[in-house]
Amino acid sequence: MGKLITIDLLRHGEPGGGDILRGRVDPELTDLGRRQMEAAAERAEANWTHIITSPLQRCREFAHDLAHSRALELQIEDDWQEIDYGDWDGMPIAEWRVRSARQFRKFREDITALAPPNGETFTEFRDRVLGAWNRLSGLPGGSHVLLVTHGGVMRVILPTVLGMPLNQSNPLHIPFACLSRVLLHVSGKNRRASLLFHNAGKPVQ
């Protein structure tokens, strides 16, 4: 008969640091970012059985407090981190768009073309994230997971669920504190995923 596993994906809220590229650089959430995540968690109206988070503090600190309030054990897993942007990390977005423009033009045709200098290639990032995603299928049937993670991670998972090319995911709007829900159908080695909703709720100011 198989089993069903529900997974809520929550992107972190607004972090400090301004308009920069955030991979492994790790500013704290702003007050607004915290409110955004609190509102998203409230909208979920979920009785989570598991809370899993990226180790980066813009995800981890909120997830820690939420797990404590729900009397759940927090699982901190490195594989849910954002891509390692290497030399680009922390760079102002305007500068990064100029420096990375050539790679991104190639990326639109071939996902192997994106390779941040001294960082993680896109294919390495994709394989890391999808490996962690596939491991969630091993959870007991009826599990309801909250996964607190990053925009880049969601740009791997959601297109995979929807059957979209990963290098053509720009139409997916994934703002701070974006909340999406996926239902996994697992039967033996067979897995099927359905997107139940995406970016639920109203913006928090």
The one-digit pLDDT tens for each residue of the chain (205 residues) are: 799 999 999 999 999 999 999 999 999 999 999 999 999 999 999 999 999 999 999 999 999 999 999 999 999 999 999 999 999 999 998 999 898 999 988 988 898 899 999 999 999 999 999 999 999 999 999 999 999 999 999 999 999 999 999 988 989 999 999 999 999 999 988 999 999 999 987 778 7
Residue 193 forms part of a structural domain = yes
Q: Are 8 and 76 in contact (CB under 8 A)?
A: no
Residue 138 forms part of a structural domain = yes
Residue 152 forms part of a structural domain = yes
Give this prediction's pTM.
0.95
Owning domain of residue 145: 3-197
Residue 96 forms part of a structural domain = yes
Residue 28 forms part of a structural domain = yes
Residue 205 forms part of a structural domain = no
Residue 105 forms part of a structural domain = yes
17 Rama sector, left if φ>0, alpha if ψ -120 to 50, beta otherwise: left
Domain total in the chain: 1
Q: Are 184 and 161 in contact (CB under 8 A)?
A: no
Q: What DSSP letter does each residue of 154-177 carry, written as one string?
A: HHHHHHHHHT--GGG-TTS---TT
CATH code of the domain in which 88 resides = 3.40.50.1240
Q: What DSSP letter does each residue of 51-107 carry, written as one string?
A: EEE-SSHHHHHHHHHHHHHTT-PEEE-GGGSPP--GGGTT-BHHHHHHHTHHHHHHH
Residue 204 forms part of a structural domain = no
